[in-house]
Amino acid sequence: MSHTITVRQLNIGEGAPKICVPLVGKTHAELMEEATFLMSLDVDLVEWRVDFFEMVEDIEKVKSALIDIRETLKGIPLIFTFRSAKEGGERELSSTAYTALNTTMIETGLIDIVDVELFNDEQTVKTLIHIAHENGVYVILSNHDFEKTPTKSEIIGRLKKAQELGGDLPKIAVMPKSTGDVLTLLEATNEMKERYVDRPIITMSMAGAGVISRLAGELFGSAITFGAAKKSSAPGQIDIHELRSILNVIHKNL
């Protein structure tokens, strides 16, 4: 497998980490306003965090918002993410509803990447990966620990599991309780890069202490970094202008 994934001419995994900004509107109107605003900014990808959308359980309403988001974003690569409450998101869906929501949006042909949580039952994960790939959609296979930072071998184990299951972009976000925890995440990322990586991965240590991990992905091996425009979707995301400028400084000096 190639170390780079190309989505609408964006080479993820090559050069500086790509900047992704989340859309976190609660209503159709808020989403339109946010999406229009994002178009005035220097972003590489947009993630629709659909768990923030209050009509998320109404698939037709989600679809109609998606159509308008896609039209507003023009050619910007779009990630579709329902983040469950147990992994730091806004709400829960039953496994059936989660599968139906993701399947319907994959089949619209309007999204480029779908985020699937690794810790769903394995059959759900495999089914969604299969449907995504049949429709030319890449899969971020993600895992989040908002409580702590697992050990280095556990982090690597989860990222490798995401590779084995066929995720195109394995991802992990963890919470540091110490600066040592930030190093653990960076070491795990670096070891993946040196020993196991055959495709781009995404890692981050959250909150203030973890900010360095959102900046240093080109060095340690994380291909996408999440920044904030007006509102962040997780602790530790920094302003995208500052983010771009720091990524450029690192890139220039490597």
d(CA 24, CA 15): 28
> Could you confirm whether 126 is annotated as catalytic?
no
Please check whether residue 210 is in contact with residue 236, taking contact to mean a CB–CB distance below 8 angstroms.
Answer: yes
Q: Which stretch binds ligand DQA (CB under 6 A): 103-111, 124-132, 191-199, 233-241?
A: 233-241
From the CB of residue 74, how many other CB atoms can be counted at a distance below 10 Å?
8
List, in sequence order, the alpha helices (H) in 135-210. 152-164, 179-191
249: left (phi over 0), alpha (psi -120 to 50) or beta: alpha
| Dihedral over alpha carbons 57, 146, 208, 3 (to 10 degrees) | -80
- Consult the annotation and say whether 233 binds a ligand: yes
User: Does 9 count as an annotated binding residue?
Assistant: no
DSSP 58-82: -HHHHHHHHHHHHHHHTTS-EEEE-
Under rule CB under 6 A, residue 143 binds ligand DQA: no
Q: For the chain, what's the residue count?
A: 254
Under rule CB under 6 A, which residues in 167-186 are in contact with ligand DQA?
173
Count of CB atoms situated within 10 Å of the CB of 195? 9
Closest contact distance (angstroms) between CB of 170 and ligand DQA is 12
* Binder among 142, 149, 163, 184 for ligand DQA (CB under 6 A): 142
Task: Number of residues interacting with ligand DQA: please give it, by CB under 6 A.
Answer: 15
- Judged by CB, which is closer to ligand DQA: 144, or 244? 144
47 appears as a binding residue in the annotation: yes
* Among the listed residues 206, 211, 215, 240, the single contact to ligand DQA using CB under 6 A: 206
Binding site annotation covers 8? no
Encoded one letter per residue, x for contact with ligand DQA by CB under 6 A and - for no contact, window 72-111 reads ---------x-x----------------------------
**Residue 26 annotated as catalytic:** no
226 touches ligand DQA (CB under 6 A):
yes
User: Known catalytic residues?
Assistant: 144, 171
